[in-house]
Structure 1
Amino acid sequence: MNLESDPTQAAAAPETPATPVRLLLVDDEPGLRTAVKAYLEDVGFAVTTANDGEEGWTVAQELLPDVILSDVMMPRCDGYGLLKKLRADERLGGTPVIFLTAKGMTADRIAGFQAGCDDYIPKPFDPDELVARVHNVVTRQQRLLAEAARFADADIGQLSKQITEIRSLLATGGTKKPATASEHVFTPREASVLQLVAEGMMNKEIARRLETSIRNVEKYVSRLFIKTGTASRTELVRYALEHGLVD
């Protein structure tokens, strides 16, 4: 990481929201933690740090950060181990994760994305690029949550009618496209949400059924949009039915 950039460059970064974005920085290098934390705080983020994946997991459960920046190679619990715990957690499963690592090979980047990270920045990196990428994932997450909330207010009768029509079309003329494990890797909670969406339930009903918050459901629906490449509940249901992902 090169921190010799002109400090005035930080002012050119996109404006942060009135409520600072909460970042959790997980890295076992003290010098890097200090430098990155200082730079990100200068541009308006609220930054909490952790020494490794094990401590990062503990802090994440208390902080519920908006974005997690994590090194990959760390003692006790590495970045992949931390990511696995996050994706399986009820409250943290939808949290964007950016990997910071010295590994820059294509195979390593692919491994990071397959593990479920949202972005991947090899060290050394430019701090302004890091800020831009953090803003990117925050903006994308906010947009997806807003989209999920908009569909949560959709007419349940109309959506149910569309789902019935999709099921009918598939039953009479379509064939299911087999889905391979590499194509769709859902957490148990994501799979449960997908099944309930396919049954025509809206977010409030899903939240009650799964005994969780509506915001958590919105996060899971957003992640399902990302993983399936869809942009609406109707598209998501059609995709799930066509690929045999739901009953």
Structure 2
Amino acid sequence: MINYDNKKKILLIDDNIDLLNSMASYLISENFKVHITTNGYNALQNLEIIQPDLIITDIIMPNIDGYELVQKIRSEQNQNNIPIIFLTAKGMTPDRILGYNLGCNAYLTKPFYPEELISIINNIFKYIEVWKENLNKNTQETKKQDEKENSVFDSLTSREYNILLLVTKGYTNKEIAYKLKSSLRNIEKYVSRLLNKTQTRNRTELTKLTLLNGFNKIKGE
């Protein structure tokens, strides 16, 4: 049994009430949760309440047409990612280009086969799922990398921290040796060890990695 609350929510907008009801019935039979309205103004007023997963809208409508509707939706930060399908009799290439430039995700010209509309909807949702999976994967990989880098800095000795701090501030090995009253050869060994521990190739990469991980982590500064 399908949980109604887990169904994808689709908002249909068209001033042709017969077509609107026909599409709604078909989408409901395909296990979607459907909200309908006959104009763009009502759609905008109830967008926050409905929170649709996808919008299907006509272009030629009174008061607010489909183009203006898309512009308004795309201008709202918390709504600009809602996928939008234009369903319209306007099938000329310039009309399509305008729709895509404004931010619609797909364009279906009337008359159409309901099966084609379902295919477009399913492909959009499939793309979103893949995008979310990749985003989650990249986020996890970035988190693991950050944890790895943080563990490297946490493992440094007090002497290594002091030298790293000076390297980050742009001191040369000779200047570090003088400041810490150590031999140049000894400082070179420490810098080489820092490069190996952080898996960086040179002082520039070492400095960049240090700054990216938070300069305040170095000796509490």
Structure 2 unpaired stretches of 5+: 150-200, 205-211, 214-221
- What's the counterpart of residue 29 of structure 1? 16
Match of residue 82, structure 1, among 51, 59, 69: 69
Structure-2-length-normalised TM-score:
0.62
Alpha-carbon distance in structure 2 between the residues aligned to 1:145 and 1:45: 20
Mapped pair 1:142 → 2:132: no
Quote how far apart the aligned CAs of 1:80 are: 1.2
Query: Which protein has greater RCO, CA pairs closer than 8 Å, 6+ apart?
Result: 1
Alpha-carbon distance in structure 2 between the residues aligned to 1:150 and 1:17: 29
Which structure: greater helix fraction?
Answer: 2
Quote how far apart the aligned CAs of 1:91 are: 1.9
- What's the counterpart of residue 12 of structure 1? none
Structure 1 unpaired stretches of 5+: 1-14, 169-199, 202-247
- What's the counterpart of residue 141 of structure 2? 154
Alpha-carbon distance in structure 1 between the residues aligned to 2:141 and 2:59: 41
Matches within 5 A, 1:159-178: none
- What's the counterpart of residue 94 of structure 2? 107
Matches within 5 A, 1:9-88: 19-88=6-75
SS in structure 1 of the partner of residue 141 of structure 2: coil
CA RMSD of aligned residues (A): 3.0
Tell me if the contact between 2:11 and 2:36 (Cα under 8 Å) persists in the aligned partners: yes
Cα 1:21–1:145 shift into 2, 3 Å: same
Cα 1:45–1:53 shift into 2, 3 Å: same
Structure-1-length-normalised TM-score:
0.56
SS in structure 1 of the partner of residue 56 of structure 2: strand
Alpha-carbon distance in structure 2 between the residues aligned to 1:25 and 1:66: 11
Mapped pair 1:121 → 2:108: yes
